[in-house]
Amino acid sequence: MPVCLRARALVRDEAGLYFSPGMQAGGSPIMSDGRGAFLSDVQARRSARGGSYGAVLRSSPRRAPPAGARLAAAFGRARAFGVGPVRAADGGRCILKRHPTTQENIMQTLGVKALVFDVFGTVVDWRSGVIRDATPFLAKYGGAGADPAAFADAWRAGYSPAMEEVRSGRRPFTRLDVLHRENLDALLPAFGIDRASVADADLDALNLAWHRLDPWPDSVAGLTRLKAHYIIAPLSNGNVILMIDMAKRAGLPWDAILGAEVAQAYKPTPEAYLRTADILALRPDEVCLVAAHNGDLAAARRCGYRTAFVARAREHGPAQTTDLRAEQDWDVVAADFIELAQRFGA
């Protein structure tokens, strides 16, 4: 069983807590290898998963101080810094692992007060929802062999070009429901559908498919945990009623509905991020964007936001090739919203 030894000082940076080998901590005891050796030469190293930090402590020939009260105090201090548990390793070495509360301490240090979320693809599975609603529509109006998946992908492909007309200033701000409907009308001939043969009511109903998207399996549970500790809201290009309808149907526990229509600007223009932070009466660095899209996170970071990446490897179906992994050193990288909540101490 490891016993006490003299510790190095803890140094905090923006990414986490780690030990510095060059600073004494006034004799604060941590542990030894149990054979009278102090552990020294602490080396901080980033782990391969999620940017966590561990520390490798090597033994030195110095004698250990007495255990007892100092030992208890040492472990208390270590846990106060969010470090632990400790285990012995081969060759007289010991590994000091990060305590699960470390990320919470990090986020408190960074001053994050609100998490805002990209929605299409990050919180909800847009592709499956559109395929579901397009299937009966195509069965009624489509040409022979019309593929609902191809229809969904083609409809989504018009998303960014339509918003670019607004972002460029060539068109005044227009809510996403209108852009979706225009794209839907334009899409019909490519699937063998005569626009004149389709009832307006059926097109209106299909356009509401974007209001009826299902959340990813981890989304609601993760959001609920985060809501207990942070302000949570969408920062989506979807318009307000779209976000409200989606939240009511899917059980998304937002504190507020924010995003492009509120900011009167589509992502990734800076105004979308900066006005959202201002509406919350927060500085940009007090807000963290959670997204499955590296480009969205890069734009938010340029505006001063904190960033969290959650990969959604099937957003675009089984053949997806983009956004499969974090492409920059985002502040947090998580596998899903449950791990995201854990990393934010929720």
Whether residue 223 contacts residue 253, with contact meaning beta carbons closer than 8 Å, is answered with yes
DSSP state for residue 3 in the 8-state scheme: B
Name residues whose C-beta falls within 8 Å of residue 134's C-beta, 6 or more positions apart in sequence. 148, 151, 152, 155, 206, 209
- What does the pLDDT look like over 34-93, one tens digit per residue? 333 333 333 333 333 333 333 333 333 344 444 444 434 443 433 333 333 333 333 433
Helix 148-157 vs helix 126-141: crossing angle, to nearest 10: 120
Name residues whose C-beta falls within 8 Å of residue 133's C-beta, 6 or more positions apart in sequence. 206, 209, 212
The candidate with the shortest Cα–Cα distance to 78, out of 30, 39, 27, is: 30
Mean per-residue pLDDT, 237-241? 99
Element (H, E) at 20: strand 17-29
> CATH number of the domain at 108-125+213-343, please?
3.40.50.1000
The candidate with the shortest Cα–Cα distance to 314, out of 50, 117, 127, 151, is: 127
Whether residue 186 contacts residue 161, with contact meaning beta carbons closer than 8 Å, is answered with no
Residue 115's pLDDT is 99
Copy the structure tokens of residue 103.
């990320």
Mean per-residue pLDDT, 302-323? 96
- What does the pLDDT look like over 115-140, one tens digit per residue? 999 999 999 999 999 999 999 999 99
Whether residue 306 contacts residue 287, with contact meaning beta carbons closer than 8 Å, is answered with yes
> Is CATH 1.10.150.240 the classification given to domain 128-211?
yes
* Residue 110 binned pLDDT confidence (cut-offs 50, 70, 90): confident
- What does the pLDDT look like over 158-193, one tens digit per residue? 999 999 999 999 999 999 999 999 999 999 999 999
Whether residue 36 contacts residue 128, with contact meaning beta carbons closer than 8 Å, is answered with no
Residue 284's pLDDT is 98
Counting every residue, how long is the chain?
346
One-letter amino acid for residue 315 of the chain: E
Q: How far apart are CA 302 and CA 299, in angstroms?
A: 5
Q: How far apart are CA 77 and CA 85, in angstroms?
A: 12
Name residues whose C-beta falls within 8 Å of residue 344's C-beta, 6 or more positions apart in sequence. 103, 104, 107, 112, 115, 226, 229, 230, 332
Residue 34's pLDDT is 35
DSSP states along 90-156: GGG-EEEEEPTTHHHHHHHHHT--EEEE--BTTTEEHHHHHHHHHHHHHHHHPPTT--HHHHHHHHH
In this predicted model, which residue has the larger pLDDT, 116 or 142? 116
Measured between alpha carbons, how far is residue 265 from residues 169, 176, 306 in Å? Answer: 10, 11, 20
Q: What global pTM score does this model have?
A: 0.71
* Residue 2 binned pLDDT confidence (cut-offs 50, 70, 90): very low
Domain ranges of the chain: 6-100, 108-125+213-343, 128-211
Sign of CA dihedral 294, 296, 299, 304: negative
Mean pLDDT value across the chain: 78
